[in-house]
Structure 1
Amino acid sequence: MSKVAVILAGCGVYDGAEINEAVLSLLCLEQQGASYQCFAPDREQMHVINHLSGEPAEGESRNVLVEAARIARGNIKPLAEARVEDFDALLVPGGFGAAKNLCDFAVAGENMTVQEDFLQLARGFHRAGKPIGLICIAPVMAAAICGEGTRCTVGNDPDVAAAINAMGGQHLECPVTEARVDAEKKMVTTPAYMLAGSVAEAYAGIGDCVKEVLALA
């Protein structure tokens, strides 16, 4: 049985992990016979968004780990405790938290930097030859993790694709129900809610992503 480290970036599409993507990722792992442990950075998130209005919540702050614990039903550990040797693969659901709390792509675009603890862990998986799955907007970090020429997808968003290419990646177009595999780099990506118009569409693509990650493990 493969064991997968799942990295959550908070709770909620606009400032944390996309909840549907996170839950579907865990469901697909279980359905395909894998076990998992959730982790999240123990740090303040970039900002807090009111998910009803879509506007920033002025004067409010939240912790990424504490918020992510809502999705994981409390069964979550600080990112700093994750060890490459304990797992067979790494999986990162999307949501703006991936672009705000794991890196700063949401504000810096192609000049982004990746949060150091996450970058060290992800690069550790890559160096160990263990597969990595990135979902939704998280593939913007693919080249930073696996190096120049890493092939990945966010679907067909031209601006994000251009940024991925500018950062050294190679963007591949992909329908929502599929994933794209860079077998050499052991990188698997899927668009999910970069394209999905329904939970079912996101589920199909995430299921394909998880299947391909486990096949490489």
Structure 2
Amino acid sequence: MLVGITGGIGSGKTTVAKLFAKFENVVIYFADQEAKQLMNTSSIIKEKIIANFSSEAYINDELNRKFLSNIVFNNKEKLHLLNSIVHPEVFKHLQDFREENADKDYILYENAILFENGSDKLCDKIITVTAPVDVRIQRVVDRDKVTKEEVMSRINNQWTDMKKILQSNYVIHNILLSDTENQVSKIHNKLT
């Protein structure tokens, strides 16, 4: 079973996903992490990014994340273009991961833009992680050392929590860690 877990930037979906890792026979696929790795290792992705965004997209054969972020988070068409380059390769990688882990109780598929890129259609169940916007902004400012305006730009490129919640099987309100751990345990029990 493939269980999608999503949430807006700063909601804590990665932290929540890691809480599921404590359960036996559960594996986690972190889409963003795998996408970043593929953007550095896949010749298919590299060639397409350079062709569409210039050779400045890579420095010393490593993705120039700041350069690319400045382009795509201020231009929805460019963001869509980048996603159309990266996501097909991530989907192929996910399929391989699913086959390798077919014996698990379930695979947790952590993806910030699960609905936005159509990955929700791959999932048997979906969990959305939420947190108040001011909390999310502060988390990202602290974590990424960016401005509030930069965080809001990213938030504005994602679906609203309510839109995600309406299409989810479960919702985790991630504010206090102890409460979040209880919610994770309850969902895991339902899934197994």
TM-score, normalised by the number of residues in structure 2: 0.40
Q: Whose relative contact order is higher, 1 or 2, with alpha carbons under 8 Å and at least 6 apart?
A: 2
Q: Whose helix fraction is larger, Structure 1's or Structure 2's?
A: 2
Of the two, which has the highest radius of gyration? Answer: 2
